[in-house]
Amino acid sequence: VQLVESGGGSVQAGGSLRLSCTAREHTYSRYHMSWFRQLPGKEREGVAGIYNPGGSTYYGDSVKGRFTISQENEQRLYLQMDNLKPEDTATYYCAAVERRRLTNKQDLGRAELYTVWGQGTQVTVS
């Protein structure tokens, strides 16, 4: 599967952005889907994820109550980011992991398990 992110940009603190990830094939039947973010020189941090089927969600502690992950039509993944803070500045990546490789919802935030990554989209909050 190929993943393509869009929707990044620059916003003032307190503002909102919505990131989109488009898959080149239907994903829900085979993959769990997540968003990660990364700063230069830092490890990728799990932001939010969806456990398929069923759609149970995971959120990193730093974004709970501010970010919302959703999926649509088996080929679109979204990340609605509200009340953005300067510390949310990072490159955001959409990622997919085959369901057989991740069988515990608690592991959605483990970047090392994911095998498919988008190219990333920059989010800057000032």
Amino acid at 54: G
Rounded mean pLDDT of 33-57?
92
Residue 29 pLDDT exceeds 80: no
Instruction: Return d(Cα 14, Cα 11) in angstroms, integer.
Output: 8
> What whole-number distance in Å separates Cα of residue 3 and Cα of residue 96?
8
User: Could you tell me whether strands 9-11 and 121-125 are parallel, antiparallel, or unpaired per DSSP bridges?
Assistant: parallel
How many CA atoms, within 13 angstroms, populate the side-chain half-sphere of residue 97?
22
Average pLDDT, rounded, for the chain? 93
What's 83's DSSP letter? S
Helix, strand, or coil (residue 115): coil
- Band (pLDDT 50/70/90 cuts) for residue 28 is low
pLDDT of the residue at 74: 80
